Amino acid sequence: MYVCLQKHLNFNLMTKNISLILNGVLAVAVGFLYYLHFKSPSNSSTIIENVSDSTYTPAVVIADSEIKQDGIVFVNTDSLLKHYEYYNLAKKNLEARQKRAENSLAATYNALQGEVMQFQKKAQEGAYTQEEGARKEQELMGKQQQFMATKETQMGALVSEEEKMSSELNKKVQDYVKRFSKGKKYQYILGYTGMSSSILFKNDSLDITLPILKGLNEEYRQSKK
C-alpha cells in the first residue's frame, strides 16, 4: 500500500512539474512572439510594395532651383522611409525572417506540448514505472532547455539584424545628406515626423524631401547594377 501510494504521489508530482514546465514554455513563446511583433521596424505587418520617389508627392511641388539655399530646411522622415527603396527591401527581408522564426517557435512549442500531454495521460494510466517516468521527465526538461536556447538564438539574431539595418540606414541617409548639402548654405536640416515631431509649424517651401529621396533611390539602384 505504501509503495503504491508513494508511486502515485511521485507521478502526481512529476506531472505537476511537467505542467509547470509547459506553462513556462507557453509564457516564453507568447512573450517572444509579442516581442517580435512590437520590436519589428513597423508595428504593421503590411509590407509596402512598389514604392519609390516616383510615387511620393510633397504637399507643395517645388522645383529644385526654387528651394531655399540658406537657413533651415527639413526632410519628412516618414515619407522618406515609406518611399526609400533600400529601406523597404531591408524591412521586407527582416519581416520574412521574423515570420520564419515565429513559425519555427510555434512548431517547436506545439510538438513539446503534445509530448507533455501524452506523458501526463500515460502517467495517469500507470503506463510508466517510476524509473521510466523520471527518465521521461528529464527528457522533456531537456527539450524545454533546448527550446529556450533556440528562442534566445533566434531573438538575438533578429535583434542584431535590426540593429545592423538601422545602422546602415542611418549611415546611407546621413552620408547622402552631407553630400547633398555641399555648396549650399544650409544651417540646419531638420527631420520632420508628423505628430511626434517637435516642429509645430513648417513652411512647405523648405521641404527638401523629394530631392533627397530621389538621390538616395538613384544611388541604391546604381549599387544593384
Query: What's the CA angle centered on 97, arms 22 and 174, to 5 degrees?
Result: 130
Between residues 196 and 116, the one the model is more confident about: 116
pLDDT band for 220, please (50, 70, 90 cuts). very high
Q: Note the pLDDT of residue 65.
A: 52
Tell me what the mean pLDDT of segment 37-51 comes to: 42
Question: Which pLDDT tens digit goes with each residue over 129-183?
Answer: 889 888 988 999 999 899 999 999 999 999 999 999 999 999 999 999 999 998 8
Q: Note the pLDDT of residue 56.
A: 58
Neighbour tally for 38: CB within 10 Å: 8
The answer to which of 32-41, 66-75, 135-144, 215-224 has the lowest mean pLDDT is 32-41
Helix axes 85-124, 2-39, angle to 10 degrees: 170
Q: Note the pLDDT of residue 197.
A: 73
Euclidean distance between CA atoms 223 and 219, whole angstroms: 6
Question: Which pLDDT tens digit goes with each residue over 70-116?
Answer: 688 899 999 999 999 999 999 999 999 999 998 999 999 899 989 98
Euclidean distance between CA atoms 129 and 98, whole angstroms: 42
Total residue length of the chain: 225
pLDDT band for 69, please (50, 70, 90 cuts). low
Mean pLDDT of the chain: 76
pTM > 0.75:
no
